[in-house]
Each structure stands twice: as structure tokens, then as C-alpha cells.
Structure 1
């Protein structure tokens, strides 16, 4: 039966809105994601002697996010041109590979972070070998090889397609239609294995860990206030948050459409709605490169302190500049300087003069 996707001409009628909103979103995600993940790598490798399981998983997650962020400017150009890709098949395949590598490497490394914190508190003695640096390095290598193996078949097919208006689309769902026999079955299995299994694992870890900590807190109040306990709960809660906000909408959207395709052939109106929802949920999924630093905030020792120092420095610079430029601001600083513990007051400025 001929799929309706081949005959639809309204799939990109939302380009007028998309060419403004999506590049705007990527122009925010790209620099924020690069800065936050680069800071995480700086914190991790500046304490190279203290590398452990959680910092290794965090470092690999940061690397995958940075690689992905580097591809966003080209994706922004594609959407800015109204779903037109003038850069050739090779570059389209490259950014497609980076997209899926980031998505599923990120899912796996975040799952490893949650499991690592779970094992550290629930089975600290029994499964200690799993958290040794040597074994964690092998796990990270296995994850990269697995994700490469899953995504490399994309390089064997054409990911660009010339549309009826002579625009060239790249990495759009209709471009995959007809290339694989049994595509709905393949994507359903991919969603279950690539998203369903990790999310169930993470929720189970969080639920069991929370229950164990609650029971331990009843017998010993010091356990509840333990820094190690807060760190573990913070890491797993951060991972759950990223999964819910970033990865769930895309995978649920994909799953529901593939299930519908098993029972009937969706018409052009349904496919257009699916296309619009895909562009929105893919944007949300790309947001994970900005939200992953919430996980580092709890996982990486020193990341929180480094981030707070940077923020304090920027706030201090702002007030310092305002004190030099604005007489009114300086007057207020003199009146309330002692109370706010500011370093620059009008008295010192007058003395300097």
C-alpha cells in the first residue's frame, strides 16, 4: 500500500514560524550548552587525581553535549532558510550522526550516573568492582561503540530529499519513509530499547533509593543530613528531570504515531501535525545539553563552587562598573555599602581623588 507521505505537499507549511522560533532557540541552547559543559570538563580535569566513576560518566556526557552543540549552528541555518539544506548530503549525514549520538549516548551516560549513585548507597560493598575507574572506562567505551553501531546505518542512506517546491530537506521523518521495510516496528523497538529501558531503570533506582533513605532517616537523623545522601538523591533527581523535560516528549510522540501506522495509513493532515510536533519535541530534546549541568551541579565536586564563584564575580563586576559610571548608583552604594558588604563605596572613591 502506497504511503500518503509521498503525496503530501503541506508538511512544511509552518516554515514561516519555524524559521524564526527554532533558530532563536538554538542560538540560546548552543552557547549556554557549550559554556556549561566546557566548565564541567574544566572542573573534572583540573582535579585529574580525583577521577572516579561519577566524574568519568559526567565527562563523557559533557563531551557528547559539546559535540552536539557544535552542530547546532548548521541546524539553525537549515531552519532559518525555511527547511532548506544547501550544504550537501555529506554534512547532513554528519549532523544527523551527531544528533543521534548525543541523544542516545546522553541517555546511556545519564542512566549510568543514576545506577552508579544507586549502587554507591544501596550496595556499597557487594558491587564495588562496578565503580572502579578501570571498569567504568570500559563501560564508557562500550557505550560509545554501541551508539556508533546503532547510528552508523544512517550513513548508508540518503538523508536529504528534494521537495515539490525544489527545497531540500535534511533529517526529516518523511525522508525515511520507504527506505526501510517495517519502519514502524523498527522505531517502536528503538524507542523501547533506547528510551523505555533506561527510563524504567532510572525511575526504579530513584524509587528504591528514596525509600531506603527514608527508612534510614527514621532510625538515624544524621543519615538524612548526610552530604553523600543529598548528592546521590540530587544526581538521580536531576537525571529524572532531564528525562521528563527533554527526552520523554519526543519518544512518546514518535511511539504514538508509529503505533497508529500499524493500524492504518495516516492522512496528510495527521502527518503534518506529527511533523510540527516533531520539530517542537526535537527542540526540547536538544535542550538537554543545557539541562545536563543540573546533574553536574550535584555530581561533580567543585562544579557548584566554580559556578557560584563565576556568578559572584559577574555580579561584583556589574556593581563595580555601575559605581564607576553612575553617580546616583554610587551614592546609593555609599549609603548602604556597609550593610551589603560591597567593596567599593563613595568614601574610598573620594579618598582616592
Structure 2
């Protein structure tokens, strides 16, 4: 799972650094050619993250529901190849979809993150494809894995109650965070794809909700590491050690400062 987490961290980092550009866009400031590049990074990272979360859910599903089978599927080498495949597949699909809408041919001269209002029918079709493949399918896979894992944990007598609770909490909070972070954005995009083509009124009405929900999707990138740290005992130990070291340095500096003042006096 560490391989998937490293890739997820890279994806989350790439996605989060695009937020300042969207803030500039919301303030209606010119961004130039940088906008197209940022839009591609944002969408690729967004859907790569969804794919990697699915991989993590499937990995936990195979480990807990079928612990004596599928060992090769859960090897580090396999995880690395799957991660590469997720990145490559998303990039390839994104290029195909951009080519379908004509945006790829005008990439250098077109600002892809400056949404055209109203949305064209080609972009609406692209949006529906993204909502289906990039959100609904991953949500279904993660929900299925979560439900199967919880059933397996309830039936198992060899796993301690505390361990069952930790695994259940981890998967539940990951799924909940994913849905809370991405569902508002996907609903807005779905409404835009259905209502907006050829209608300026809906385009203007949904612009602000669109910009707000783009920002709220970063909640997932922010909370995922926190959830893993709070659930993992090793991460908790590292956090405690770091806090104790910082506290020791602070106390030492304070003692040295006070002692120095007393010596001068």
C-alpha cells in the first residue's frame, strides 16, 4: 500500500498547488498561457487520485477478504506497475477527450481553465464522461470494497476488535472524505453539462458554485494524510516523538535564556 500512498501524495501535491491559479481565476485576473497547463495538471491529478484511492480500497479488500490468495497482485512490483498504468491511462484518456473537443489542437492559444460560458455541447459530453468514469465508477468500487471488508471483519474471529475498528474507521473516513470533497463539484459539473449548453442564464448562475466547489475538492488532498496519521500507530509514534523533541528543544532554549539573564544580573 505504501507504493499507492506515495503516488497518491504526488497526485495530491500536484492538485493542491493548482489552487492559487483558481483563486486568480475567481478574481478575474489574466493568467495567460499558464492557465492551460494548470488545467491539465489539475484534471489529471484529480482523476489519478481517484484511481489510486480505488487501488488502495481493492488492496485492502484482497488483503482482508482473501488473505491467503492473490499474493502476486499485492506485491510491491505489481503495485508499482499498476500505479504507472493509472497515470498513463488517465493521461491518455485526457488527451483523447481534449482532442475530441478540439482543445488539444488549440492548446497553446487557448486557456483551458477559463471556462467557456455557456458550455458547448462537446465540452458537456466531455464533462459527462468525466463524471461517470472519474467519480461514479470509483465511488462504486470503493463503496463495494468497504462493504465487503466490513462484512469480512464482522465474521472474522482471528482479528482483534481494536484492529477491526481501526480498519473500519480508516476506510469509512477515506470514503466519507472523498464523497464530501468531490460530490458538490461533480453535482455542479453534472448540472452544467445538462442545463448549460446554449443557455447563458445557467452558465452565469453556476459560475460561482463551480469556482467554490473546485476549491473544496482540495479537502480530500488535505485530509487524506491526516486520516492515515491518526489511524496508523507507527505514524502516531512518530508524531509523539516529533512533539517531544520540539518540546525538549523549546525547554532547553528557555532554560538557557533564563540562565543567561540570571548570570548577567
Q: What is the TM-score normalised by the length of structure 2?
A: 0.81
Counterpart selection for 1:294 from 221, 226, 232: 226
SS at structure 1 position matched to 2:131:
helix
Counterpart selection for 2:187 from 246, 249, 252: 252
Please state how far the C-alpha of 1:294 moved relative to its aligned partner. 3.0
In structure 2, the CA distance between the partners of 1:184 and 1:71, relative to structure 1 (3 Å rule), is: closer
Which 5+ residue runs of structure 2 have no aligned equivalent?
none
Counterpart selection for 2:30 from 85, 88, 94: 85
* Contact preservation (8 Å) 1:58, 1:296: no
* Contact preservation (8 Å) 1:238, 1:295: yes
* Contact preservation (8 Å) 2:64, 2:152: no
Is 1:135 the counterpart of 2:83 in the alignment? no
1:23-63 Cα deviation digits (max 9, x unpaired) = xxxxxxxxxxxxxxxxxxxxxxxxxxxxxxx0000000011
* Contact preservation (8 Å) 1:234, 1:298: no
1:296-352 Cα deviation digits (max 9, x unpaired) = 326877433323333444455566667777x9xxxxxxxxxxxxxxxxxx9xx99xx
* Contact preservation (8 Å) 2:196, 2:203: no
Q: Give matches, 1:55-204, under 5 Å.
A: 55-79=2-26, 82-86=27-31, 88-89=32-33, 91-152=34-95, 153=98, 155-158=104-107, 171-174=113-116, 177-178=119-120, 181-204=121-144
Whole-Å separation in 2 of the counterparts to 1:320 and 1:272:
59
Please state how far the C-alpha of 1:225 moved relative to its aligned partner. 2.7
SS at structure 2 position matched to 1:174:
coil
Whole-Å separation in 2 of the counterparts to 1:109 and 1:295:
16
In structure 2, the CA distance between the partners of 1:298 and 1:159, relative to structure 1 (3 Å rule), is: farther
Which 5+ residue runs of structure 1 have no aligned equivalent?
1-53, 162-168, 328-345
In structure 2, the CA distance between the partners of 1:261 and 1:170, relative to structure 1 (3 Å rule), is: closer
Counterpart selection for 2:161 from 213, 224, 233: 224
* Contact preservation (8 Å) 1:92, 1:170: yes
SS at structure 1 position matched to 2:92:
helix
Please state how far the C-alpha of 1:222 moved relative to its aligned partner. 5.3
Matching residue of 2:209: 277
What is the aligned-residue RMSD (CA, Å)?
A: 3.3
Please state how far the C-alpha of 1:175 moved relative to its aligned partner. 5.9
In structure 2, the CA distance between the partners of 1:76 and 1:201, relative to structure 1 (3 Å rule), is: same
1:239-258 Cα deviation digits (max 9, x unpaired) = 20221221111112211332
* Contact preservation (8 Å) 2:25, 2:114: no
1:103-158 Cα deviation digits (max 9, x unpaired) = 11111111111111111000112222211112111111110001111233354345
Please state how far the C-alpha of 1:65 moved relative to its aligned partner. 1.8
Of residues 60-69 and 114-123 in structure 1, the stretch that sits farther from structure 2 once superposed is 60-69
Please state how far the C-alpha of 1:267 moved relative to its aligned partner. 4.4
* Contact preservation (8 Å) 1:65, 1:102: yes
1:171-211 Cα deviation digits (max 9, x unpaired) = 13326834xx4432332122011100100111111122112
Matched positions, count: 257
Tell me which structure has the larger Cα radius of gyration. 1
Whole-Å separation in 2 of the counterparts to 1:321 and 1:160:
56
In structure 2, the CA distance between the partners of 1:223 and 1:63, relative to structure 1 (3 Å rule), is: same
